[in-house]
Amino acid sequence: MKTRRQLQDVIESMPPLPEVAVQVLALVQDPDFAIEDIVSIVRTDPTLTARLLKLCNSSIYSLASTLTDIRDAVGRLGTRNVVRVVVASCSTHYFADSASRPRALDPHTIWRHALACGVASEVLSERLDVSDPGTAFTSGVLHDIGKVALSQQLGEDLVPTSPLPGEGLVAYERRVFGADHASVAGLVLDRWPVPAEVRRAIVDHHEAHKLLADPPLTAIVHVADLMVLRAGVGAPADGLELEYLPEALRLLGLDAARTDGFAPRFLTELAKIEEMLAV
């Protein structure tokens, strides 16, 4: 097993979330923000501006004339899709790694699960009206950033192993990796200027005893994570139980059957954003 110092080196080598994403995330938490505010932020990033214009002028939208002004593009795409593209575009490079990995730590597998969790968190926050959808999306996308650090630290050294009977995810990761991905995520996020609510949701989303003390966003990310895995998006270790924490369901006023019923909606939205990001 590689050392904790090596893990710290990996964490310190990970670039922080780009400023444009941090600013957009802070902006959408203000209920009174205007389109001009988001346009002024996006304009500071030429690559992102070009991507949004390209998306708006793609066959997805089939506009009669080509848009060349980013304000028009933001207005056409809508705030939700702009936040999705900004956060996803600014996050995807963390998951770009061609090295061989067990599937559960394969960066591409982690990325699709992370994107799906972002969409599922957004869907839940809207349906339950308990958190800002953009903040929920961001928290979901970044909820497994600790797995990225573990993947980079372990390289090809890891020999996959199955959970012990009755062993939960956190205990399994601590036994196999020497640390769990949520606590590692906390070390990563300590270096990033993300809102405290987002950090808590990511670090605490597997901790039953912390859910009731945290904002509802933590429970949303937990439920979204499990809902996505139960729908087959992601690669949990063989034999790992995929059961919602009762505390999370109770806090959100849900049960397992109703929660799983959200799956068709998030899968539809996931397909939409994957199409947008492929442009």
Q: How many domains does the chain have?
A: 1
The rounded percent of the chain whose pLDDT value lies above 70 is 92
Average pLDDT on 39-68 reads: 92
Please give the residue range of the domain that contains residue 131.
4-277
Could you tell me how far CA 18 lies from the centroid of its own chain? 15
Sort residue 33 into left (φ over 0), alpha (ψ -120 to 50) or beta: beta
**DSSP 8-state class, residue 58:** S
Q: State in Å, rounded, how far the first CA of the chain is from the last one.
A: 40
Candidate ranges 7-11, 167-171, 236-240; pick with highest mean pLDDT: 7-11
CA distance 4 to 204: 21
C-alpha separations of 168 from 163, 173, 206, 217, 235 in Å: 8, 9, 9, 22, 15
The pLDDT score that the predictor gives to residue 99 is 53
Which amino acid is residue 239, in one-letter code? G
pLDDT in tens, 232-278: 998 776 667 788 999 999 999 999 999 999 999 999 999 999 999 99
Specify the pTM: 0.90
Round the average pLDDT of the chain to a whole number and report it. 87
178 Rama class: left (phi>0) / alpha (psi -120 to 50) / beta: left
pLDDT digits (tens, 9 = 90+) for 200-244: 999 999 888 888 888 999 999 999 999 999 999 987 766 677 889
CATH number (domain holding residue 207): 1.10.3210.10
